[in-house]
């Protein structure tokens, strides 16, 4: 029996989020520049997207470029943006074949014009797809998102549309740029690091974490299946006791 066969399709997480880490270290091990690692990470993205789509997972969010990544050397940032454009061009066929809808999350206005246009085109080409929603977190951070929601909230109070007493978690969540998707049940981070790096800070309150030492360019569908199996073996209590969950 394969790993995929062991997965209970009735207990899949609706939303899996991934921090794709380790491209630079992988490239260094191979004796190449950091961009070499990012280029090889595209294979891991393709394998993971196809695996998630085949299983029937509804949302897959990939942390592709954080707001903090703008502080990296300009040469690397420019290379990453160029890689993003070429990858979108090359992978649109894979998205269409697997009925995957592309969605972008983040400060898209801060992206270079060429990247934004290619992103918009690919989103438009896949908008009718009804399977997996592939969410690319670009120029994104959790604090950026919470700040964006807080700004909208302040405007609503200032305009008199709501009172401070009406503010609750549900309203706050509805104002998040990510309000279109459910909170992730599973967060995966590769490369051996054990932190969330400003990713989906509001949404991961009750998310299960899976950390692996595998560097992102080496991550394959079998690793993804193993993470799903690990998730399915956990008891999710949401503050309750084990006895309450069983009941």
The single residue of 69, 107, 198, 230 carrying the catalytic annotation is 69
**Segment (H or E) for 227:** helix 221-232
Asked about 99 being catalytic, the answer comes back as no
Sequence-ordered list of residues with C-beta below 8 angstroms from that of 75, at least 6 positions apart, any chain: none
Assess contact for 233 and 210: CB atoms under 8 A.
no
For residue 104, which of 117, 94, 91 has the smallest C-alpha distance?
Answer: 117
**Segment (H or E) for 133:** strand 133-140
Write out the DSSP string of 103-132: EEES-GGGS-HHHHHHHHHHHHHHTT--S-
Both tokens of residue 72? Answer: 């990296």
Asked about 107 being catalytic, the answer comes back as no
Q: CA 111, 195, 209: angle at the middle one, nearest 5?
A: 105
Write out the DSSP string of 9-70: GGG--SEEEEE---HHHHHHHTT--HHHHHHHHHHHHHHHHHHHHHHT-SEEEEEEEEGGGG
The single residue of 5, 8, 14, 21 carrying the catalytic annotation is 21
Catalytic residues: 21, 69
């Amino acid at each position: 029996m394969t790993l995929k066969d062991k997965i209970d399709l009735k207990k899949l997480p609706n939303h899996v989020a991934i921090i794709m880490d380790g491209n630079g270290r992988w490239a260094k091990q191979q004796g190449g520049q950091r961009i070499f690692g990012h280029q090889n990470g595209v294979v891991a993205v393709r394998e993971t997207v196809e695996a998630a789509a085949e299983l029937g997972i509804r949302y897959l969010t990939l942390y592709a470029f954080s707001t903090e990544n703008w502080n990296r050397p300009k040469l690397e940032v420019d290379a990453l943006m160029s890689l993003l454009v070429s990858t979108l061009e090359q992978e649109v066929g894979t998205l269409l074949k697997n009925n995957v809808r592309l969605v972008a999350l983040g400060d898209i206005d801060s992206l270079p014009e060429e990247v934004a246009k290619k992103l918009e085109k690919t989103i438009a080409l896949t908008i009718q797809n009804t399977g997996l929603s592939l969410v690319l977190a670009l120029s994104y951070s959790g604090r950026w998102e919470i700040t964006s929601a807080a700004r909208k909230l302040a405007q609503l109070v200032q305009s008199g549309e709501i009172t401070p007493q009406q503010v609750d978690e549900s309203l706050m969540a509805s104002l998040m740029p990510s309000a279109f998707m459910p909170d992730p049940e599973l967060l995966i981070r590769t490369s051996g690091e054990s932190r969330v790096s400003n990713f989906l800070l509001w949404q991961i309150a009750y998310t299960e974490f899976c950390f692996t030492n595998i560097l992102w360019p080496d991550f394959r569908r079998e690793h993804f299946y193993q993470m799903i199996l690990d998730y399915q073996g956990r008891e999710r209590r949401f503050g309750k006791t084990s006895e309450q969950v069983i009941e």
